[in-house]
Structure 1
């Protein structure tokens, strides 16, 4: 083969990219050459061959299935959020009707355990010597809490994390567990009051990247309610 012929052959050889660009630029190509759809045979990883039409149908089925799954996830999330909103609203209204600090604590515990299905919960108030610790409320030193919990104690946002054994025992002394996780919700209104802690015996349940919109709101409502009752009961 002469150099001239070789050069001509190479110049007329189409690349895959050129074919792809041509088909994209000419969407009516297969309407004019419809017989190609059935005649083109595409290899399959299983060793069987399929026509272009069959391959396209398979791709479309897979895409439709993926879209249905995504839509199902969106609908499920919307339902979960709607349910959380209703439960949060119910808890907020019940807190507004609480007549005392003990009553508010009872409302919080009942809702968190029975409506939100948490494994354990605790209301911790800092530096309130007039408060006697009960099964509903724990009175602790803020300095000791910061020494034990370290960076888990924050008053600017909710902290979600797996817990060490000593942290579990400190936050939930009534439970003898070796592992777990918690959402540590600040109670703060005009001053730092303490913590509302909701826990799970699953160390992965309350993770640092979880959504905290609803539990943050619960903390804000509880903070105002508890603050008012502390003032009233002085």
Structure 2
């Protein structure tokens, strides 16, 4: 009897020296798989045995789920690619309009001809609602008080402004033409020649984040031509 009791104690002591195996947490498994992305390549037979719940199809295999996810990514990438192609085509069309406009302006003989060309191209080809030039000198010059109003309020940092105007400012530049958002550009090296004003019906069309490359080129062309046409 005593020998049996002693043997039981010895077995108990031996078992107490061994710790119970630690259970793996979901996070540990996930971390291991992320750190070993080739795991299923080493054990491909496991892939078909893993079932993953699907909200619409019930349980699906890992291979089927991966294939579906890849198809979704391909569809998303194709959609983004089509959007980029569409934007590129639009940008190319706009570039061609501005390139043609600059060439036509170079052939203008006076300010009225420039205004007519701007209206024809910008309003018809670019489908914008209004465009005008307000010179600072000459018989049709913008009054000094109005000139100061725009320069002090809209041109403090640079020679262009993109955004919305007050109703009073819009009337001064565009009269009754619709211009819910505008692009304003000072013409001349120091903005001494006048303002080119372009309006859109869309209140968000002209905004401070828009690209200025093409419209700046137009501004430069006008800066070269206007001194020859304004009466001082």
* TM band (smaller chain): 0.7 to 0.9
Judged with a 3 Å threshold, the aligned counterparts in structure 2 of structure 1 residues 153 and 58 are, in CA distance, closer, same or farther, namely: same
* Greater mean deviation of Cα atoms: 85-94 or 106-115: 106-115
Unpaired runs of at least 5, structure 2: 1-14
Equivalence for 1:131: 139
Supply the distance in 2 between the matched residues of 1:79 and 1:97 (Cα, whole angstroms).
28
Provide the residue aligned with 2:92 in structure 1: 82
Length-normalised TM-score, structure 2: 0.81
SS in 2 for 1:208: coil
1:89-168 mapped onto 2 (5 Å cutoff): 89-126=99-136, 128=137, 130-132=138-140, 139-147=141-149, 150-153=152-155, 156-168=158-170
> Who is 1:180 aligned against?
180
The separation in 1 between residues aligned to 2:108 and 2:114, in whole angstroms, is 5
Distance 1:4-1:194 versus aligned 2 partners, 3 A rule: farther
**Contact 1:155–1:188 under 8 Å retained in 2:** no
Whose Rg is larger? Answer: 2
Write the mapping of 1:39-78 to structure 2, written as runs, cut at 5 A: 39-46=49-56, 48-78=58-88
Contact 1:104–1:226 (Cα < 8 Å) also in 2: no
| Deviation of 1:18 (Å) | 3.9
Partner of 1:136: none
Deviation at 1:105, TM superposition (A): 2.1
| TM-score, normalization by structure 1 | 0.80
Greater displacement, 31-40 / 98-107? 31-40
Q: Quote the Cα distance in structure 1 between the aligned partners of 2:63 and 2:146.
A: 71
Report deviation, 1:171.
1.5
Taking the aligned partners of 1:101 and 1:221, their CA distance within structure 2 comes to: 13
